[in-house]
Amino acid sequence: MHFLNFFPLFVFLYFLSVTHAATFDITNRCTYPVWAAVSPGGGRRLDSGQTWNLNVNLGTIQARIWGRTNCNFDDNCRGKCETGDCNGLLECQCYGSPPNTLAKFGLNQPNNLDFIDISLVDGFNIPMEFSPINDGCRNLLCSTPINDQYPNEL
């Protein structure tokens, strides 16, 4: 875990409870504010070090968590984000616009399995870690900014 001390990250910890829900602890370990977004689930601003405890129903499929950057919202929770914007809403009701690093998940899928992954299908905007709290699962980490390594067309 010493590696994590050197990289600012947007971190998700995933807990399954014995009830019919799971809890995701979404923590901003970046040095700048990140506006966390979840579809389904909403969104909110997280300053460095802040955590959002999000309860998600088991059976949730094709869900996404991502961080938005350089956002400005008015008193009606309308505004815009430089990356990951979701139609100008603080509490997202749709997927975010690229670029945005994604944590994707499906809970209680066939054979009672949960699926998680970090995806760059919509590009890279912030480093991210997805950490299940389970002895049989491994952390997923994407911490290298790749945008400067490839042509803009990609």
Q: What CA–CA distance (Å, rounded) separates 55 from 107?
A: 12
Residue 112's pLDDT is 82
pLDDT in tens, 60-77: 888 899 999 999 999 999
Annotate 25-69 with DSSP letters as a single string: EEEE-SSS-EEEEEETTEEEEE-TT-EEEEEEETT--SEEEEEEE
Q: What is the pTM of this model?
A: 0.77
Instruction: Count the helices and strands in the chain (H runs, E runs).
Output: 0, 11
> 82: how many CB neighbours lie within 10 A of its CB?
12
The arithmetic mean of pLDDT across residues 69-96, rounded, is 95
Domains of the chain in sequence order = 2-149 (2.60.110.10)
Q: Residue 33: what pLDDT?
A: 96
- Look at 115 and 152; give whichever has higher pLDDT: 115
Give 93-128 pLDDT, tens digit per residue.
999 999 999 988 888 888 888 888 888 899 989 988
Nearest in space to 132 (alpha carbons), one of 19, 23, 2, 1: 23
106 three-state secondary structure = strand
Band the pLDDT of 145: cuts 50, 70, 90.
low
Cα–Cα distances in angstroms (integers) from residue 132 to residues 10, 11, 23, 25, 151, in the given order: 14, 11, 10, 10, 34
